[in-house]
Structure 1
Amino acid sequence: MKNDLTKMMALDIYVSNLEEEKYSEISTNLQPSSKKSVNLLSWGIQDLFFEKELFSDLDTIKNLSKNFNWKNNLIKVIKENYYESLVLTDVKKKIIWVSDGFTKMTGYEKEYALNKTPRFLQGEETKETTRKRIQTKLLNGKPFKDVIINYRKDQSTYKCELHIIPLHNNNSSEITHFLALEKEVV
């Protein structure tokens, strides 16, 4: 089992660093593992360490969901996925809300991020091909995961896994916002 996890992690790291052309060549061959993975969240580990932030994030998301009339089940998504930071943008990719975890992960105060695009977190080592790939995935309007090199306030880099979910209006089904569940990966 440990060897399988190591292989999956190595593949994940390899795939996340591919140029778009190479990724396109192999993406059709990438299949989810047929083996059941163990979801650490089911053990309650996240709740032990992040209980206060989790409940605060859930309350905020519930309120935002009600105000914007989203049809997505975001409470389920948040409870079932590990994240360190949540970033909510409008369709123009302007940040309208970030969780407290955003400051811990990036060093930037929440207020600083508001009305900016997440691009302010990118820099010299952020690949243009990664930016374009993410932009294409956003235009597809479906949930996705990707990894990008971001910069903290102190200019140190980190690999940020993004799990981006388009948020749809209940009445018209149009995409009104994007929610990114973010975590640092090795």
Structure 2
Amino acid sequence: MKYNLSNMMCLDFFLSAQNKEDYKAIEPLLITPEFANFPLKSFDIFVDSFTSKMKTLDRENDINSIKEFAAKYKWTSNIDIIFKDIDFEAIVLTNDKQEIIWVNEGFKEMTGFTKKFAQQKTPSFLQGKDTCKVTKERIRENIKLNKPFTDIVINYKKDKTPYRCEIKVFPLFTENTTHYIALEKAV
């Protein structure tokens, strides 16, 4: 088996930068016989594959977190249908007063705001001077209608950078609407 020293150093740097949880996730890939039989020719291919698998796992973990809330609050909404074929970066879960009770890690990556900071605020804290008043009113009206909707709003990151955010909002029910979930991505 021949490994190029620079490839091994890249792998070493990559592995040393992982936290324990991420390293445990990739460790089986490092010790499998099929990995050991091939020289490491392109670390980019490995990283792309690994990144794709991690995004899939993050998505599954996010959906499972929402399913735990669904069980806790006894929602009759079909969570799998909500997430089916929807691309998102951030998830914002609010109560019926639109106060944030949970966001995923993608929210921090997209906005710069921590989970702790976002909790108990309304999503309007992300809005600013260029957020369209008509869009804000349309969002309020759609929430009152208690039906799923999609819209695009100008939001602001923690560093005050504006970004266009596509939101897909779904009411979550028991007998009445008890929560809302917004699946969001920068567009």
Q: Which amino acid aligns with 1:181?
A: L
Q: Percent identity?
A: 39
Aligned counterparts of 2:139 and 2:59: Cα–Cα separation in 1 = 26
Of 119, 122, 135, which aligns to 2:124? 119
Of 34, 43, 58, which aligns to 1:53? 58
Aligned to 1:106: 111
3-state SS of paired residue (1:80): coil
Of 80, 92, 99, which aligns to 1:94? 99
Aligned to 1:73: 78
Q: Which amino acid aligns with 2:183?
A: L
Q: For the Cα contact (< 8 Å) 1:151–1:158, is it kept in 2?
A: yes
TM-score by length of 2: 0.70
Query: What is the Cα deviation at residue 48 of structure 1?
Result: 4.0
Q: Which amino acid aligns with 1:118?
A: P
Of 155, 165, 176, which aligns to 1:160? 165
Aligned to 2:181: 179
| Cα shift readout 1:56-111 (whole Å, capped 9, x = no counterpart) | 10221111000010111112322421100000001111000001100000000111
Q: Which has the larger radius of gyration?
A: 2
Question: For structure 2, which runs of at least 5 residues remain unmatched after alignment?
Answer: 1-50
Q: Which amino acid aligns with 2:177?
A: I
Aligned to 1:135: 140
Aligned counterparts of 1:162 and 1:58: Cα–Cα separation in 2 = 17
Aligned counterparts of 1:134 and 1:49: Cα–Cα separation in 2 = 33
Aligned counterparts of 1:107 and 1:124: Cα–Cα separation in 2 = 18
| Cα shift readout 1:126-168 (whole Å, capped 9, x = no counterpart) | 0111100100000001000000000000000000000000001
Aligned counterparts of 2:142 and 2:67: Cα–Cα separation in 1 = 26
Q: For the Cα contact (< 8 Å) 1:47–1:54, is it kept in 2?
A: no
Kindly report the root-mean-square deviation, in angstroms, between the aligned alpha carbons of the 2 structures.
Answer: 1.4
Aligned counterparts of 1:119 and 1:72: Cα–Cα separation in 2 = 25
Q: For the Cα contact (< 8 Å) 2:82–2:170, is it kept in 1?
A: no
> How many correspondences in the alignment?
137
| Cα shift readout 1:14-35 (whole Å, capped 9, x = no counterpart) | xxxxxxxxxxxxxxxxxxxxxx
TM-score by length of 1: 0.71
Q: Which amino acid aligns with 2:139?
A: I
Q: Call closer, same or farther: CA 1:49–1:184 in 2, change over 3 Å.
A: farther
The correspondence of residues 7-22 of structure 1 with structure 2, limited to 5 A, is none
**Greater relative contact order structure (CA < 8 Å, 6+ sep):** 1
3-state SS of paired residue (2:120): coil
